[in-house]
Amino acid sequence: MRTLDDLRATFEREAGTSDGFGITEAAQAGAARIRRRRRVLAAAAVTVLVGVVAAAVPIAVTRMRGADPLPATPAPYRAPSEITLSVQPTSAFFVLSHGTDSTRQFLTVRNRNTSAKDFGGTVSAYDPGTFDPAGLKRGERVTVAGHSAYLVPTAQKFSSDPQLGWQDDSGVWVTISETVNRAAVLRLAGTVRLGPPRQVTAPMRFGWAPGGLPLSYARNSDETGGIRGYQLSSYVGFAADRPPAPDTARPPMGAESGMALNAMAVPKTSMSWTEVVAPVGAPPGRFPTPKWETIGGQRAWYLVDNAKPGIFPAGPGAHLFIETDTCGVTLAVTDLAVIDYAELVRTVTGMTFSSCTDATTWQPAVS
């Protein structure tokens, strides 16, 4: 990326129901059976106790009535701001980027040996009831790390790029793609782990959810044990009832992302930040000169998208640039009719920042 036109292109480009497996229906039916069984047992117990000491009857009945009913549906697998997917830390791979995209989690995995033919791949994990495995189930049955999986060979121009997937006991479907061949996809699959939910972290923490919306997207490159030279970066997006993006390789940005607000944090020395706030060699007047002020207690520059051409195309949204001691943070509002300037200021006022050059300082992205 060497010009602001490149940057603009990057932002434009990267910008009680059934669960599908019968789990919900089974839980509801089971709960109904349990309630009927409890009513029958309670009635029988009362009948037996009638001939016993009268004072004992109210105590026994009270205890029965005080039992908590079972929930009709299982608890959610994870919150949108949590992830459970990882790879074995001692494996040959490191995680270049990872995150959550609505009902899907993802990892972009790379080989620590950068000259290896087996470079890595992409791992996705779909929340229970959100993935259709019909295509996978037409593939070959294989065994991975002691469990059954499906392998579907595909023909790509430069690699075989097989698709592999399996269903975890939790109901989550895990898929692996974008590997170089059959041996590579099986090798990577053996390193994939699903653990307890953990909070998504970032160098920016939102104490106030913009527009009252939940976190819907997060993508971090924060692997401190990875290969030197990869830049730390963090993306966070807020929306309600948004489906996952079709491409996990790029952060969904702009109006097509379906998010009301996108946030991006990078080291302020990176080119993706300096070319916005300190363009070098640009013709005079082509790009707006930053007008720094204090917004929400932070050094910031507010720019309405249609105020002046050059960085972002005209539209109903706006951008707020925040500069800290180590971070360059961009907040992109898709539509000011949804999140206006006052709401943006409220959001920034509730934010706290850590280091964009040290991922060990990152905190949960949302309070």
Pair (208, 290) in one structural domain: yes
Highest mean pLDDT among 108-117, 243-252, 341-350: 341-350
pLDDT at 310: 57
Q: Tell me, yes or no, whether 352 and 279 share the same domain.
A: yes
The pLDDT of residue 113 is above 60: yes
CATH value at residue 115: 3.30.200
Residue ranges making up the domain that contains 181? 82-198
In a domain, 8, yes or no: no
Residue 6 included in any domain: no
- The more confidently predicted of residues 22 and 185 is 185
Answer yes or no: do 155 and 193 share one domain: yes
Same domain, 131 and 210: no
Non-local (6+) Cβ contacts of 152 within 8 A are 135, 136, 138, 139, 140, 162, 163, 164
Work out the average pLDDT over 38-53: 38
Helix (H) or strand (E) holding 150: strand 147-152
Question: Both 225 and 93 in a single domain?
Answer: no
pLDDT of residue 179: 92
Burial class (CB in 10 A: 0-12, 13-18, 19+), 19: middle
pLDDT at 225 (0 to 100):
53
Question: Between 90 and 201, where is the model more confident?
Answer: 201
Same domain assignment for residues 205 and 194 = no
In the predicted model, is pLDDT for residue 135 greater than 70? yes
Domain-located, residue 138 = yes
Q: Which of 198, 216, 247 is where one domain is finished? A: 198
**Do 257 and 329 sit in the same domain of this protein?**
yes
Q: Are residues 211 and 338 in the same domain?
A: yes
Same domain, 27 and 96: no
Place of tokens 């994870």: 78
76 located within any domain: no
Count the domains in the chain: 3
Residue 153 has pLDDT above 60, yes or no: yes
Q: Is residue 9 part of a domain?
A: no
Contacts of 291 (CB under 8 A, 6+ apart): 301
Q: pLDDT band for 287, please (50, 70, 90 cuts).
A: confident
pLDDT category of residue 41 using cuts at 50, 70 and 90 = very low
N residues, the chain: 367
Q: What is the mean pLDDT of residues 21-37?
A: 37
Last residue of a domain, one of 198, 221, 253: 198
Residue 101 maps to a domain: yes
- Does residue 204 sit in the same domain as residue 353? yes
Q: Which residues pair with 299 in a beta bridge?
A: 294
pLDDT-derived band at 63, boundaries 50, 70, 90: very low
What pLDDT is attached to residue 279? 76
Pairing status of strand 93-101 against strand 104-111: antiparallel
Q: Same domain for 263 and 333?
A: yes
Residue 229 pLDDT grade (very low, low, confident, very high; cuts 50, 70, 90)? low
Task: Give residue 268's pLDDT band: very low, low, confident or very high (50, 70, 90).
Answer: very high
Over 50: is that where the pLDDT of 305 sits?
yes
> Cβ atoms within 10 A of the Cβ of 353, count?
19
Confidence label for 273 from pLDDT (cuts 50, 70 and 90):
very high
**Is 18 a member of any domain?**
no
The CATH number assigned to the domain holding 236 equals 3.40.1000
Residues 26, 175: Cα–Cα separation, whole Å: 26
- Extract long-range pairs of 12-16: CB within 8 Å, 24+ residues apart: 12/253, 12/254, 12/313, 13/250, 13/253, 14/250, 14/251, 14/252, 14/253, 15/251, 15/252, 15/253, 15/254, 15/255, 15/256, 15/257, 15/262, 16/72, 16/73
**For the purposes of burial, counting CB atoms within 10 Å of the CB of 235, is it exposed (0-12), middle (13-18) or buried (19 or more)?**
buried
Alpha-helical runs (H) found in 283-362: 341-349
Average per-residue pLDDT for the chain: 79
HSE toward the beta carbon, residue 22, CA cutoff 13 A: 2
User: Do 230 and 101 belong together in one domain?
Assistant: no
Q: Number of helices (H) and strands (E), helices first, in the chain?
A: 6, 20
Among 138, 164, 198, the domain boundary falls at: 198
- Torsion angle of C-alpha atoms 267, 222, 1, 257, degrees rounded to 10: -100
pLDDT score of 104 more than 80 = yes
Structural domain includes residue 71: no
| Cα separation values, 128 from 103, 104, 105, 134, 173, Å | 9, 10, 12, 15, 7
Mean pLDDT of 31-35: 41
